[in-house]
Chains A and B, each alone.
Chain A
């Protein structure tokens, strides 16, 4: 029997979720009090789930590796959160958000899940406002919206360039409220190192206290992984330094299938790498593409300063290739186009791996508008630009300041240099409609699951999914499982399954500490990152991927022979923490390459060079690849299972932005 039952409810798409909610078995309040739930991760998905489940009466334990749940990486999201509110009367609807998301994901997402996401999106905004999230407002006191990532409606709610921060602090305040009430026990500076299974059900975790180094056993009737994405497999990404795949990977090794691991999002507007010392990359909000124009010189290896290159010698390549969408093409398209120009030798800056993002035209345009608005006459060009700069500063000031801090260059005077960077992973643990993985009782929420974004995520949709899963989906779907589990008493953690799981974790830690090799953890992480970026990055081909798999296997063997971890286990040991995460990345990287090798089509963020149209655009192959690739770990042999995608509503077509 296949484990891949998506459990999408029957019936018309508009009524699936409503009907599910109305008929799902409930757990009575008295029983909830004796049911324990473990939530790993405290980002948007984790904090919202932990708070909501505690409000319902469950006993919740929540874990995060940072010093406080408020630090989770959701906090760094800048742009906004989508919701089908149609407050702007511009034709938005649940259906349209659903349609855009399925299409934007290049027809590799499940319709039923995406429709539910669009459906609950409006509730998220209500919930957040009620919590005191200070979204941007208009003078009339109502909420402001902007269009984002090339959508034709204004459905993005935002709080300046700090939307993720404000949403997370909202969810965090709900979580802290429950901690104060004693319904959630919070474990800061703890890292989950394994899932404990009893009779094939997830029944707890082994966690390491990162301050004392002590291993702990925790029981739960169900375990929720809300542990984010795995972009740091590339070493350089826009993810926080600590973001990792460890929890998801341990679950995978325990039998949870991994869905579409090769689907990675490369964000087009990031600050380029400045040298070997680089530890991470910084994203510049996509909103900059609303006004900035992207270009490279028409001449190869042009060493002139940007301002010295005359207009006719500039190649506004996005506007040239995609006249209909221009600089606003989706992320995957914009990223590949930048890579293409740089690979051909037109890149700028010392590394030649960057393109210009130029606001000169926008400043002039806004300046002229200001002149008209204010009824000024005989205004010099300099004054026009000055007025325009003020408008640009109001819209993007904080981003320009950030660029200046990092590069030491003033973007008001010269164009910014940008280059694509790894930003988000659409792949993740395979889950069914109820967000349960292929391990009974083990759930995955938010970026940690694979479910809603297909092969490419639209801007402002990550926050939406994290909160949808945590606030509005899991509180219902978990009942379907726990209502059958009310007779299960809390299992004491001296049960042999816990003892064995802890011993396995301990053995792995001992093994790692005892290598006492010669190379640092970062040495291996950087090498892995380079293999992944060169061969499993923005463009992939059979030869490169085959090489990458062999290289990663060799690197992994070297790691287990030659890594050096100073200090001991029984203390705060940051190198040991990193080593454990890199060890898992060294396995995941191989699976990503295998998945990319298997998927001989281009779709969304996955571009196989063998599968492109005559003019170099991505070519999907629906006949052969309209499925979710769900990988079974199977002792490291990685067996492929396919969940066929059925499109009843949105019929797949070639995406065109020309």
Chain B
């Protein structure tokens, strides 16, 4: 199939940036979306142009590095799928595809489709952990955990930190990301001793990074490639409320 691509090109953080149109010819439907870009990039390099910069690494939908809007949707048209696992059979011959970087104040563009998501790391550093030094642990089976709690914690822990939730939210809120980590650790008995300080510190850092507020539109859940549930946000709100009331 043949496609027209409108791709955001931006030389660096201080450049204004603009869309540039490219033609992608003879695209195989078995290609992944990023492989289609690889082929285009090869052509650009052969012509002496700079290839389109985009973040990617594992190409198996798990590292969370790939990040772009495809036709206005984070990670493109297929639900529950990262860009790297999206394949060209989801597109039609002759289609025009618009490709942009995440747009959020807390994710500044570095180049083309590459953005800086280090704000997520700083939120984790503020409290997204259990304070246990290596060697402190007791036997793993000395603390039974109800299967449901373990399963719910796992479902929250499946977050890959890609930032699609922020990119999809009209307020650029990071609530789904932060609540996934808060929930995972709040659901487990190991995480309870620090639950109050954790949620307060993580939310404080989230606000400092310039993420917006949550207005419950649910677009984060709808666009999350790992289908992280909104229930996590509700759980975090409860945790936050209790922690604030307790004056932790």
Q: Is the CB of A67 within 8 A of B60?
A: no
* A:155-189 near B, CB below 8 Å: 159-160, 162, 164-166, 169, 172-174, 176-177, 179-180, 186, 188
Residue in contact with B57 in the complex, picked from A71, A137, A138, A177, CB distance below 8 Å: A71
- Name the distance in Å between A71's Cβ and chain B's nearest Cβ: 5
**Chain A residues closer than 8 Å to B35, beta-carbon distance:** 277-279
* A:462-511 near B, CB below 8 Å: 471-472, 475
Q: Is the CB of A275 within 8 A of B144?
A: no
Q: Secondary structure of the B side of the interface? A: loop
**Chain B residues closer than 8 Å to A440, beta-carbon distance:** none
| Known contacts A173-B130, A180-B126, A275-B28, A67 near B62 by CB under 8 Å | no
Tell whether B146 is near chain A: CB-to-CB under 8 Å. Answer: yes
Tell whether B105 is near chain A: CB-to-CB under 8 Å. Answer: no
Give the contact stretch, choosing among A4-12, A139-147, A196-204.
Answer: A139-147
Residue in contact with A522 in the complex, picked from B29, B42, B87, B120, CB distance below 8 Å: B42
Interface centre among B63, B65, B153, B161, by most A CB within 10 Å? B63
- Name the distance in Å between A555's Cβ and chain B's nearest Cβ: 18
CA gap between A139 and B146 in the complex, in Å: 7
Q: Is the CB of A402 within 8 A of B61?
A: yes
| Known contacts A176-B124, A520-B46, A566-B48, A406 near B87 by CB under 8 Å | yes
A535-572 near B? 1/0 per residue, CB < 8 Å: 00000000000000000000000000000101100011
Q: Is the CB of A142 within 8 A of B87?
A: no
Tell whether A76 is near chain B: CB-to-CB under 8 Å. Answer: yes
Residue of B nearest to A572 (CB): B111
* B:120-146 near A, CB below 8 Å: 120-121, 124-141, 143-146
CA gap between A72 and B62 in the complex, in Å: 10
- Name the distance in Å between B179's Cβ and chain A's nearest Cβ: 15
Q: Is the CB of A280 within 8 A of B121?
A: no
A42-71 near B? 1/0 per residue, CB < 8 Å: 000000100110010000000000111111
Q: Is the CB of A130 within 8 A of B137?
A: yes
CA gap between A240 and B62 in the complex, in Å: 10
Tell whether A211 is near chain B: CB-to-CB under 8 Å. Answer: yes
| Known contacts A66-B65, A277-B39, A126 near B157 by CB under 8 Å | no
Q: Is the CB of B190 within 8 A of A132?
A: yes
Residue of B nearest to A522 (CB): B42
Residue in contact with B48 in the complex, picked from A52, A129, A564, A574, CB distance below 8 Å: A564
Residue of A nearest to B133 (CB): A55
Q: Is the CB of A141 within 8 A of B58?
A: no
Tell whether A116 is near chain B: CB-to-CB under 8 Å. Answer: no
Residue of B nearest to A172 (CB): B124
Tell whether A274 is near chain B: CB-to-CB under 8 Å. Answer: yes
- Name the distance in Å between B229's Cβ and chain A's nearest Cβ: 15
* B:133-190 near A, CB below 8 Å: 133-141, 143-147, 150-151, 153-154, 157-158, 160-161, 184-185, 188, 190
- Name the distance in Å between A271's Cβ and chain B's nearest Cβ: 10
* Interface bin, chain A: 35 or more
**Chain B residues closer than 8 Å to A373, beta-carbon distance:** none
**Chain B residues closer than 8 Å to A52, beta-carbon distance:** 133-134
- Name the distance in Å between A443's Cβ and chain B's nearest Cβ: 17
**Chain A residues closer than 8 Å to B48, beta-carbon distance:** 564, 566
Q: Is the CB of A132 within 8 A of B59?
A: no
Tell whether A134 is near chain B: CB-to-CB under 8 Å. Answer: yes
Tell whether A515 is near chain B: CB-to-CB under 8 Å. Answer: no
Residue in contact with A188 in the complex, picked from B30, B121, B133, B153, CB distance below 8 Å: B121
Q: Is the CB of A279 within 8 A of B59?
A: yes
**Chain B residues closer than 8 Å to A66, beta-carbon distance:** 57, 63, 65
Tell whether A85 is near chain B: CB-to-CB under 8 Å. Answer: yes
Tell whether A15 is near chain B: CB-to-CB under 8 Å. Answer: no
Residue of A nearest to B49 (CB): A566
**Chain A residues closer than 8 Å to B28, beta-carbon distance:** 274-275, 277
Tell whether A598 is near chain B: CB-to-CB under 8 Å. Answer: no
CA gap between A180 and B153 in the complex, in Å: 24
Q: Is the CB of B81 within 8 A of A405?
A: yes
Tell whether B55 is near chain A: CB-to-CB under 8 Å. Answer: yes
Residues of B participating in the A interface, judged by any CB pair closer than 8 Å: 11-12, 28-32, 34-36, 38-39, 42, 44-46, 48-51, 53, 55-65, 78, 81, 85, 87, 89, 110-111, 114, 116-118, 120-121, 124-141, 143-147, 150-151, 153-154, 157-158, 160-161, 184-185, 188, 190-191
A-B contact pairs, 30 of them (CB 8 A): A68-B118, A68-B161, A70-B161, A71-B64, A123-B135, A130-B130, A130-B138, A130-B140, A132-B185, A132-B190, A137-B147, A138-B147, A142-B141, A159-B154, A162-B62, A164-B62, A169-B157, A176-B124, A180-B127, A241-B57, A279-B38, A280-B59, A402-B60, A472-B134, A520-B45, A522-B38, A566-B44, A566-B48, A571-B11, A575-B45
Residues of A participating in the B interface, judged by any CB pair closer than 8 Å: 48, 51-52, 55, 66-73, 75-76, 85, 87, 123, 125-132, 134-143, 159-160, 162, 164-166, 169, 172-174, 176-177, 179-180, 186, 188, 211, 240-242, 274-275, 277-280, 282-283, 402, 405-408, 471-472, 475, 518, 520-522, 564, 566-567, 571-572, 574-575
